[in-house]
Amino acid sequence: MPRKHEWDILKLLKWTTSYFKSLQIDSPRMTAEVLLAHCLKTERIDLYLDHDQPLSESELSKFKALIKRRAKREPVAHVVGSKEFWSMDFEVTKDVLIPRPDTECIVEASLSVLTASDFPRRVLELGTGSGAIVAALSSERPHNLFFASDNSLPAVQLAKKNAGQNALADLIHFFCADWLTALNPRTSPFDIIVSNPPYIPTPVIASLAPEIRKYEPLIALDGGHDGLAAIRLLIGHAHLWLKKNGYLLLEIGHDQKNRVKQIMDDTLHYEDIKFIKDYAGHHRVVQAKKP
């Protein structure tokens, strides 16, 4: 290991990358770059422009602390405090799921049913977490009415803060509730209900990567014994809160398509049931219309 005064950006990146590699941490070079850029309050690309810049004592000790947290398997998004989704930054804490790239699939599907219209549509997101989905939708289709809820109060508070930081606070009404229970289906029907509910089977949770199992909220992951408890509940009830020709869109697990199709068919409350694939080719979203 070089002596303290010899630590410049490039040497630090090399050392940290091989340390992360030895711990089998995903994308070791990129992780080293993200943490160092965060520590130096700069962009990743700028690290290479200033590659021979030595770090001060205080920068070094701050960086060491970040490395230690990641070495304990804390997710990068928690270490730096934010995650990018739909080209916006979202603050993330232990109270919310870190928004995943796969979830852009449900945003794209929702946008394709939320096409231009003379009338503002009422859009509801259930289980909003960090607020990523509803923020993405409202940023793309600001002339609609957006509502978003979660049964975790800290999540709702963070989602509201994130909407504010992305200049979307005026477009979204946030509230805390257990799924649909706070809303009267007769007075508050929606044109679109969208949700990425917890869908991991309880027995699988113990085998998830420590980044997820130890640091992300169980309530955001646990879908009951077969992973479908929340999905079943939402499919069973959402039609009551949808207007005629309204849409329900749900994110689902990569292997849940057939069982979700069966649940949808059994209700007799939906038509035009469609499954949409994510970039990895998994059926990631179910979309259905209330006739």
The length of the chain in residues reads 291
**H helix or E strand, kind and range, residue 107:** helix 104-113
Tell me, what DSSP letter sits at residue 103? G
Binding range to ligand SAM, per CB under 6 A, among 19-27, 39-47, 196-204, 257-265 = 196-204
Which residues are bridge partners to 283 per DSSP? 277
Closest distance of CB 92 from ligand SAM, Å? 9
**According to the binding rule CB under 6 A, does residue 103 interact with ligand SAM?**
yes
**Backbone phi, psi, residue 31, to 5°:** -60, -45
Cα–Cα distance for residue pair 269/19, rounded to 1 Å: 54
- Cα–Cα nearest to 165, from 91, 94, 62: 91
**According to the binding rule CB under 6 A, does residue 183 interact with ligand SAM?**
no
With CB under 6 A as the contact rule, the residue among 146, 179, 247, 270 that binds ligand SAM is 179
Quick check: 158 and 131 in contact, CB under 8 A? Answer: yes
**According to the binding rule CB under 6 A, does residue 198 interact with ligand SAM?**
yes
**According to the binding rule CB under 6 A, does residue 16 interact with ligand SAM?**
no
Cα–Cα distance for residue pair 107/211, rounded to 1 Å: 25
- What track of x and - describes contact with ligand SAM for positions 130 through 169 (by CB under 6 A)? x-xx----------------xxx--x--------------
Amino acid at 22: S
Closest distance of CB 270 from ligand SAM, Å? 21
Closest distance of CB 195 from ligand SAM, Å? 7
**According to the binding rule CB under 6 A, does residue 256 interact with ligand SAM?**
no
Residues that bind ligand SAM (CB under 6 A): 96-97, 99, 103, 126-130, 132-133, 150-152, 155, 178-179, 196-198, 219-220
